Structure 1
């Protein structure tokens, strides 16, 4: 064996080291490539995870919106049930009033026919034809008043039934068309492309559609673009003023800008959408502050409860603003501004329409009460005249009976001149027989109807303590309740 020198050993070591380095370089390149691919996969996984989180947030928002719709639908059903119950009660009261009036009319007619027949047939054989015509003329206005009153009761009953049917149909349509109107509003908002004037006009159109859908009438129940002046002389023009039956007003504004929400809907990236929604909430809050500074409620001639309804025509825009800023509604309420959408505004408008319907019903009931008071007074006047006629007939009968007694009584003139028939040849016929009349006039029955001229009620006034339209107790037959 040949011994190796140190130089040879060093050369061999260097050759071995060079071989190892040459073999490890491709492996290192493969490791670097795999590391780069792993980094790309990790970045892709992070993006997918962000997308999944965004989808989960959208799903949660949709679930919240669905739950809100369900709650509003339940509120609508409860309101419908309450309105139906109130209407049924009012309808029952009208029906009781009509039945009581029919019974009273029939009883009065029978009483008057009985009294008039008895007086005319038994006690008024000496009346002339002209007296009978005068009595018919006296009773004719009473009959016409009864017929007019009956027609009016039937008209009010028919109008009430028709109004209830329309109310049921409209409430169902409110719940069915709410989502459809929101979809149409969102499409129109995207088409406006940021035109603030067009946005305001479009919001007014949708708001007026909601007012009309609730059954309110322009000019009678609400007014658009009414002009006022504040204390500084500046011109103020609220979008809509809804009139209430008590002379007060509800102010509704529809000029909130939805440009930022339109940008959020059409945003291409989540970052752009988030920025647009933040701007949308800021715009809504800014409009609340603007309405608070205008202070419509303090304008001269305005009788507002002290707050303004701020109308957002797009339902998702309203929900998104409330979801993004939990304090937004409280902020508006502190500034006397109440945020509403189509869904939350419709119950308010339906309540206003119902108040107007009740006000009309109460006015008609008061008119019926006035007519009933006048009718009662006419009936009482007729009864008082019949009572005087009965007293006159009774007095005449008493005088007649006294005269008959003086002539044909035991010590009357007949007894004194009876013997002249035996002495005079000219007394060929006997004296006629005279009989007294029976004084059986039913004056007490007339006293029950006409207590006297001192107690005649004023025209158009019902009994004290009776509700408008109540029939006086004197017109009810015995045993019948006063409705």
Structure 2
């Protein structure tokens, strides 16, 4: 506040000096007087300021003292309150901890009791389950042992069967019978009985017979059919040598076994060519049937061998699948030939049907004319004759239905029947 007053006085003095510059310059006494007055004002202001500052310090000291005393009282009250709170909290905590200890002890006791009960129950269940599982395991082991014994018996039987099959396949005649049986089954499935024959003498004056021969249509009228010889071959021993060489991964053994297989197949093809091919009673080629696809695949892999067999021996090598395809093609050819043979009969039947149809057309035309004549006669009766009768009877009175029925009962009966029909 004092500083504001001092500032205001300074501003007033400066304004007076600025407003009266000439008077100050002309009158030094006034200026000195003004300065003296200003000095006295400063002295008063300084005195007042010192007094105010002293009063402020005293007041601040008193306020600070009061604040310290108030703070001390507040701290004492807070300390007392805090101590009471701490005491109360400690008592409460002790009570809570005591209750918690008691509850925890009861919980531990209950838990131990429950765990003991669970242990007893688990022991009982484990014992029962263990006994059941052990019994089940023993039963399962017993059943498996019985199954193993049964399997061993079956394996022994299978071994005996395999041994028997090996003995059968070791016999050349039996191997040939296996091929013949498979060939016979294919022919029975794909051809009609009259389309092939078994054990056929293809050469005149020779006792050699081919296992099966398909009857193909003859080339001319002099010969009704021509035989296509089919012979089954099964070079088991040579094929087994080749398989063993493949298993051993021995290139030299594979080459040797392959050459032996080619030689054996050529001998078999020559046997078929020399024994069974006799044109024109037979075709100029025969079929060698290999009953297993594995052997056939080995032969097909050797394209030069196939060409040699066809060129030198006129023999075509087939497997089960290939022979089935050939027989299917022959069956389609047989059906086409049958259609061609019966085409003349079909045309004859169509000619007879055409003749009969012409007769039926004439009869229908006559019937149409008769119907037209009858229709004209009916129209004449219904038209001209009816109108003439009506003209003759126009002067006659018409009777009621009851009177007409009384005179002509037959008309009444007919009228009733007509009414019933209309209703």
User: Rg larger in 1 or in 2?
Assistant: 2
User: Which structure is higher in helix share?
Assistant: 2
Q: What is the TM-score when the length of structure 1 is the normalising length?
A: 0.36
